[in-house]
Amino acid sequence: MEKRTPANIRFWDVRKDGSRRRIADLTQETNAPIAVLRGDIEEALWHGIEEKVEVRFGTVPVAIVNGATQAQVTLQTEDGEETTENYDLVIGADGVRSTVRKLVFGPDEAFFHSIGTMLCAFPLARPVEGFNAGDGLMVADVKRTLTVFPLEGRPSTALFSYRTRKPEKVSGKDPLSTLRQIFADLDVNGIISKALEDLSTTDDFLFDSVQMVKMPHWSKGRVLLLGDSAWCLTLYSGMGASAGMMGGQVLGEALAACPRDIDGALKLFENRMRPFVRKHQKFIALRSQLFVPSNRFSLWGRRVLWQILLRSRKYLFRKSV
């Protein structure tokens, strides 16, 4: 996988009057942060399994029946052709709106915990005018924010986020017209409008409500959920890809440790992953305030916090040097 963290990364808080202040690097969430793209992860995984694992495109599960030792799965192709097959273990790693979860565990509403925000993420087609390569920025106001994350060797990612009382009802709307309306009077130096122009020319975007997934158990019989389908940490955590990769590794280790006991392996998997997931889900609501402040006090507080973090990191760097 390619490391996408720019060598000279800097983040700026852009105010309504066009002024800017340096703030702490938003990617510095762990001791050794590395920015990676999901596309890079997928490509690495693809090369790892090529000619070793059968892959079927355009095929989805439409029914799953749990048995004592196997799960019976009915698969349907894009042409409507159906086949029924038996598996020792079915792993649903199909995202926050998981089909496997719906078929086996229940509807989304039973496990979704709304943050009360919407987000739209997409790659920018051009650099932000007036900023250097490696610069990130935030244009923030009460209940709405644009964050631009710089990436090495790839276009920067724009993340629009805003608060709404009924995010699920907004999910089906057109993102471009919705964002133009919400951010109409926050177009500082044309940053917002130019980013939305880039959105209008791409179909590579995510527009959805922000939902944590909380479940008492990630497995039922011979079906297991993994990644966002099991525990979605949301984009605000900055740990979604990390948690997915970690979950895959922990599951592999658990199955290897219990080669003849799938039930024992699934219990071992949950025991190892639960503390990690619980730790990061605990602060999602608070972290959402850093990205999308819900009131003016939160807006002021996040600006103060970014300045404190920036100064403390400069001090620690000087001290270590």
User: In 50-199, where does DSSP find H-type helix?
Assistant: 99-104, 167-170, 175-182, 191-199
pTM for the structure as a whole: 0.85
Backbone angles phi, psi at 208, to 5 degrees: -160, 165
Q: How many CB atoms lie within 10 A of CB 208?
A: 18
Which single residue is written with the structure tokens 């990617």? 27
46 vs 41: CA distance, rounded Å? 9
pLDDT, position 272:
97
Q: Is 210 helix (H, G, I), strand (E, B) or coil?
A: strand
Whether 316 shows a pLDDT value over 50: the answer reads no
With vertex at residue 86, the alpha carbon angle to CA 263 and CA 97, rounded to the nearest 5 degrees, is 75
Instruction: Sort 278 into a burial class: Cβ within 10 Å, 0-12 / 13-18 / 19+.
Output: exposed
Q: What is the mean pLDDT of residues 67-92?
A: 95
> Based on the structure, what is the number of domains in the chain?
2
Q: Are residues 224 and 178 in the same domain?
A: no
Q: What is the mean pLDDT of residues 245-273?
A: 96
pLDDT, position 311:
67
219 vs 91: CA distance, rounded Å? 9
Q: Are residues 119 and 203 in the same domain?
A: yes
Residue 24 lies in a domain: yes
Q: Are residues 80 and 93 in the same domain?
A: yes
151 phi-psi bin (left φ>0, alpha ψ -120 to 50, beta other): beta
pLDDT, position 306:
67
Whether 313 shows a pLDDT value over 60: the answer reads no
Q: What is the mean pLDDT of residues 44-62?
A: 92
Q: Are residues 67 and 162 in the same domain?
A: no
- What CATH number does the domain containing 167 carry? 3.30.9.30
Q: Are residues 157 and 195 in the same domain?
A: yes
Q: Are residues 24 and 116 in the same domain?
A: yes
Q: Are residues 159 and 251 in the same domain?
A: no
Share of the chain above pLDDT 90, in %: 62
pLDDT, position 28:
54
* Cα–Cα distances in angstroms (integers) from residue 64 to residues 38, 67, 80, 83, 270, in the given order: 28, 10, 17, 12, 22
pLDDT, position 30:
44
Query: Residue 119 belongs to what domain range?
Result: 10-35+112-211
Residue 292 lies in a domain: no
Residue 298 lies in a domain: no
Q: Are residues 22 and 123 in the same domain?
A: yes
Mean pLDDT for the chain overall: 88
pLDDT single digits (tens) 109-163:
999 999 999 999 999 999 999 998 889 999 999 999 999 998 887 889 999 999 9
Q: Are residues 194 and 133 in the same domain?
A: yes
